[in-house]
Amino acid sequence: MSGAAPGNSLRATGYQPVEFLTLQELPERARMNLADTAWDYLAGAAETETTYLRNRMALDSLAFRPRVCRDVAKVDVTGSFLGRKLRLPVFLAPIGSLESFAAGGGVAAAQGAEAFGVDHMLSSVTQPDLETVAGNVKQATLFQLYVRGDDAFVDGYVARAVDAGFRAFAITVDTAHYSRRERDIIKRYLPAGRARGVNRTGHNWQMSFNWDNVKRFKDKHTIPLILKGIATAEDAATAVEHGVDCIYVSNHGGRQLDYGRGAIEVLPEVVAAVGGKAEIAIDGGFCRGTDIVKAMILGADAVGLGRMHGYALAAGGAAGVRRMLELLERECEIALGLLGVQRFADLDQSYLTAGTPAYPPGPFAAFPHLHWPRHNERRDR
């Protein structure tokens, strides 16, 4: 590929979505389009980035046990999440400062998800605001909040989300303290959301957010509640006791607590603790169709795509997001067919076992043929 013309969207670069024939081409193009600071914000993590690397390593340490001589002429990869049927059991995980990756920010991401047929979870620290995003899609889906104020602050956001048509409300619970993301610190870079002060002002409210606040939310509001950032069976069980509707297994993509476990390592104990009393979402290193299949085998209802949708957005705007989802859909179809099943519901844990990673640990281990553009190929920002 040659250098990209100015702009973060496919329309701006003059390329068409069909150009992206593999998933690895999305981070390649994103790297060409983004300045070093924005790239490191998207691709980086906390301190040593160990949790970030373990997310990918945990996925690479799982191997399939396929069955053969099954009728797989028709394969159905649809799913459902919190009452909505999805073309694929995935959603776009919340990312702050999406406007740094492509024109339109949250609007472009939501439009890409809607065009394909899955959910987008809008972060409260991205632009534009929730009303604008909702007004630019046929149906708003999921909203995620960082707590930056008292009960009235939370209630205000709930009212706004409900009025805008969002069907579920997520509160992030793994950011009581903001981590040291050293790639950003080294470059003296403040992401757009933090530069606006939205992720710093009032952070003491996030620090003090506790199970009493969760109880109050469930007592007062009827919109389904998602708790994002659950990393143990103990917290999953407590969340279920408080009536939480969805347990969202996440370590913030390795961007918060360093030296945590890979997200998919956590999933089995959370599934056991929840016991079917709530739906389960997960994110953390998921970037291939086979990754999604592994999570579904282990009991997830939906898989969040974080950095992967950031790469797609930076590579091609809304059209890039849609193309990413199309490629993941095809990979899931192939994986299910080769495992010998027609749908996700046919899978159980007999289809999965421990395996040895084939590549050294790294966030891009899933893309062994990835070619990083040379400096003079990257867009000059």
- Whether residue 66 is predicted with pLDDT greater than 50 in this model: the reply is yes
The parent domain of residue 345 ranges over 10-357
Q: Given this model, what pLDDT does residue 121 score?
A: 98
- Whether residue 37 is predicted with pLDDT greater than 80 in this model: the reply is yes
Here the CATH number for the domain that contains residue 327 is: 3.20.20.70
d(CA 204, CA 148): 7
273-285 mean pLDDT: 98
- Whether residue 376 is predicted with pLDDT greater than 60 in this model: the reply is no
Q: Please report, rounded to a whole number, the percentage of residues in the chain having pLDDT higher than 90.
A: 84
Is 187 a domain residue?
A: yes
Report the helix count and the strand count for the chain, using DSSP H and E: 15, 12
Lowest average pLDDT, out of 14-28, 52-66, 164-178, 223-237, goes to: 14-28
92-104 mean pLDDT: 95
Is 26 a domain residue?
A: yes
Q: Greatest CA span in the chain, whole angstroms? A: 59
- Whether residue 197 is predicted with pLDDT greater than 90 in this model: the reply is no
Active site residue 252: yes
Considering the candidates 252, 309, 371, 375, report the single residue annotated as catalytic: 252
d(CA 134, CA 140): 5
Task: List CB contacts of 121: < 8 A, sequence separation 6 or more.
Answer: 91, 92, 93, 94, 141, 142, 143, 144, 170, 304
| Total count of domains within the chain | 1
Is 55 a domain residue?
A: yes
Is 377 a domain residue?
A: no
Is 47 a domain residue?
A: yes
Is 271 a domain residue?
A: yes
Lowest average pLDDT, out of 44-48, 110-114, 197-201, 234-238, goes to: 197-201
The one-letter code for the residue type at 310 is G
Lowest average pLDDT, out of 114-123, 325-334, 362-371, goes to: 362-371
Mean pLDDT of all residues belonging to the chain: 92
Is 86 a domain residue?
A: yes
